[in-house]
Amino acid sequence: MTGTGILPISEALKLQPGAEVRVRGWVYRRRDLGDKAFVVVRDSTGIIQSVFTPESRSHAEARRVTVESSVVVQGKLREDPRAPGGKEIQGEELVIIGLAENFPIRRDASREFLLNVRHLAVRSRKMTAVLKIRHTVFGALHEWFRENGFYEVQCPMFISAAVEGGATLFPVKYVDESTVYLTQSSQFYLEALIFSLEKVYTVAPSFRAEKSRTRRHLTEFWHAEAEVAWVGLEGILKVEEELVSHIVRRVLERNREELDLLGRNLEGLKQVEPPFPRVSYDNAIEILQSKGIQVAWGDDLGADEERALTLEFDKPFFLYGFPEKAKAFYHKNDPSRPEVTLSADLLAPEGYGEIIGGGERIDRLDELVEKIKRFGLNPKDYEWYLDLRRFGTVPHAGFGLGMDRLVMWIGGLEHIVDSVPFPRTVARTYP
């Protein structure tokens, strides 16, 4: 009986009062009012209230069912302005599929406790809303790349040399007892693949042994990366702004309900259309200094500096022209001003900060070897990467987009762990 004629809750709520409906899901709320038993049921599409009076043959079941039990509920739909969705089920039958033990999550649960029971907390309406937005974000990203001539590729997670500096590498003991590392970025592999496919992208986890506990660092994060042959910095920025705008548009189209549930202010998101402002690093330093923030030209900008800058803008903006030493070795130096690189970060507004890092790559062999040495690294560790400059090198550029940070900003979330179902941070690998 439990499988036939079942409707998604969102569909049941669209029917006319008087319709006979059957829904299934989990008990979201349970209470008694006089001799009436109220059971609010949720499924992946919504929530609906059901009421069981003593005349109902399932009255006793409705009274004993516990929060988070799985149930099938059947009855007649009727109007009730006080019920969520404006309608409720006059309950006739309630079948308990799995009676839940005392559910450990209470309204006043601490953040730490909720993270310890994340396998249960993912059921919350907030987390469900975030995961639906995340689904749209990932889908829209693939949609945009595929519609714009990019090939999707897959790269290895075990690597032998650092892309983004040795400090955040995760060593892994390999089968033959040698040490390999978990990838920090698929960039070098994408660079190899542009020589046949020209425009490539990948979406994969990246790993960083980030020691600091911040609101925006995971040790395992989802990284969307792209690389394009024959383009320079300006060309890749166009790709980034079109891509991000497309994703935000899709979320606004498809996830109004979820954004509302999260209390997200939509005004900022509606302004996310290309072109994004371009702000030079030099100018950023001046802005920061004029706000009394202690920074000097040459410093890398941390979370605090980024936050101060993003409060100046109401849409995402590019910060370009970082000094050589503030960026990884592979960034091409500006020929007209060699102390800065042809790199740019995309910063999300409202205090969120960096969501993309990218730019033009060094495409000349001698220039790359020299810079590797200048950075105190060993060209021997980058043999295959150097080969790419030996065999038909071309100008090219690319970027990496932190998907969890993107979801965090679009959802207006407080902490990056809220944007991913099972976060991995310096302090957490459970559940």
Task: Please give the residue ranges that form the binding site for ligand NSS (CB under 6 A).
Answer: 163-164, 185, 187, 208, 210, 217-218, 221, 223, 225, 354-358, 398-400, 402, 404-405
Least separation in angstroms between CB 273 and ligand NSS: 21
Total Cβ atoms within 10 A of residue 179: 10
Q: In the β-sheet with 158-159, what is the strand arrangement from edge to edge?
A: 158-159, 179-182, 170-173
Least separation in angstroms between CB 327 and ligand NSS: 9
**Residue 241 or 404 having the CB closest to ligand NSS:** 404
Residue 142 and residue 131: Cα distance in Å, rounded? Answer: 17
Give the Å distances, CA to CA, from 159 to 42, 69, 172, 226, 426. 44, 45, 10, 19, 21
Residue 1 and residue 225: Cα distance in Å, rounded? Answer: 48
- Name which of 90, 86, 59 is nearest 76 in CA terms: 90
Least separation in angstroms between CB 209 and ligand NSS: 9
**Residue 319 or 356 having the CB closest to ligand NSS:** 356
Element (H, E) at 307: helix 303-310
Least separation in angstroms between CB 263 and ligand NSS: 23
**Residue 30 or 208 having the CB closest to ligand NSS:** 208
**Residue 130 or 356 having the CB closest to ligand NSS:** 356
Q: Which residue is nearest to ligand NSS (CB)?
A: 402
**Residue 226 or 295 having the CB closest to ligand NSS:** 226
Distance of CA 170 to the CA centre of its chain: 22
Least separation in angstroms between CB 73 and ligand NSS: 41
Least separation in angstroms between CB 354 and ligand NSS: 5
Q: 327 - beta bridge partners?
A: none
Place of tokens 């409060």: 311
Q: What angle do CA 307, 310, 311 make, to 5 degrees?
A: 90
> Residue 420 in 3-state DSSP?
coil
**Residue 23 or 130 having the CB closest to ligand NSS:** 130
Least separation in angstroms between CB 20 and ligand NSS: 49
- Name which of 210, 241, 233 is nearest 303 in CA terms: 210
**Residue 250 or 405 having the CB closest to ligand NSS:** 405
Least separation in angstroms between CB 163 and ligand NSS: 5
Listed in order, strand segments (DSSP E) in 101-247 are 151-152, 158-159, 170-173, 179-182, 199-207, 220-229
Least separation in angstroms between CB 206 and ligand NSS: 7
> Residue 282 in 3-state DSSP?
helix
- Decide if 390 contacts 384 (C-beta within 8 A): no
Give the Å distances, CA to CA, from 371 to 164, 168, 341, 392. 14, 21, 12, 20
Question: Is cis: bond before 431, omega within 30 of 0?
Answer: yes
> Residue 351 in 3-state DSSP?
coil
Give the Å distances, CA to CA, from 263 to 150, 154, 247, 362. 35, 36, 19, 44
**Residue 173 or 213 having the CB closest to ligand NSS:** 213
Least separation in angstroms between CB 22 and ligand NSS: 43
Give the Å distances, CA to CA, from 88 to 12, 59, 242. 10, 16, 44
**Residue 28 or 330 having the CB closest to ligand NSS:** 330
- Phi, psi dihedral angles at 151 (to 5 degrees): -95, 135
Least separation in angstroms between CB 286 and ligand NSS: 23
**Residue 74 or 245 having the CB closest to ligand NSS:** 245
**Residue 320 or 399 having the CB closest to ligand NSS:** 399
